[in-house]
């Protein structure tokens, strides 16, 4: 795969069907087996309160997003940035549900699931029965997470890019 887009969202909750919305989006272009410096990033005003429990996870509060653009004001730029590239995400069904709900809300087409690579699914197939959260995968692959204390879309994607590279490598035989 020559080029694709790594994407991560932070949200007000867990289910867009219950009115939860995106509060942060980061997308980074991936070329020649590495993340580039081409980044789309924005906080998003969700038109609803950010619950304290969600702020506790990602650190984004109502005050942080009060002057952020609404999704409809960034949708065209985000869609253009992603283009026709494959999309890579950790727990991709979660991010895709929110992205598709936001795009549907503004009358834009949804992304097809066949366009998406789920790093969590790759990790589960390689490490069945183990915890495969991003922090666990970083620890498993000895990836330095210094300074990474909460969910932050761009930092998460930088770590995810390294995890993805490790998952693409053949599994090492532990019995020598």
Query: Which residues are known catalytic residues?
Result: 151
Say how far apart CA 47 and CA 34 lie, in whole Å.
Answer: 35
Say how far apart CA 159 and CA 89 lie, in whole Å.
Answer: 11
Those residues with Cβ within 8 angstroms of residue 128's Cβ, 6 or more apart along the chain or in another chain:
none
Q: What is the DSSP string of 24-66?
A: EEEEEEEETTEEEEEEEEEE-B-SS---HHHHHHH---HHHHT
Say how far apart CA 68 and CA 91 lie, in whole Å.
Answer: 25
**What percent of the chain is helix, strand and coil (3-state, nearest 5)?**
40, 20, 35
Q: At 72, is the secondary structure helix, strand, or coil?
A: helix
């Amino acid at each position: 795969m020559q080029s694709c887009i790594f994407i991560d969202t932070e949200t007000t909750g867990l289910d867009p069907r219950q009115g939860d919305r995106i509060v942060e989006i980061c997308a980074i272009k991936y070329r020649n087996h590495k993340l580039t410096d081409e980044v789309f990033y924005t906080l998003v005003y969700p038109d609803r309160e950010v619950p304290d429990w969600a702020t506790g996870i990602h650190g984004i509060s109502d005050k942080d997003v009060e002057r952020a653009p609404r999704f409809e004001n960034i949708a065209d730029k985000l869609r253009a940035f992603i283009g026709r590239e494959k999309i890579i995400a950790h727990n991709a069904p979660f991010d895709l549900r929110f992205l598709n709900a936001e795009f549907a809300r503004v009358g834009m087409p949804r992304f097809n699931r066949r366009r998406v690579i789920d790093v969590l699914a790759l990790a589960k197939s390689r490490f069945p029965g183990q915890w495969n959260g991003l922090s666990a995968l970083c620890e498993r692959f000895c990836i330095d997470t210094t300074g990474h204390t909460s969910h932050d879309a761009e930092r998460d994607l930088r770590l995810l890019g390294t995890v993805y590279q490790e998952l693409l490598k053949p599994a090492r035989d532990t019995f020598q």
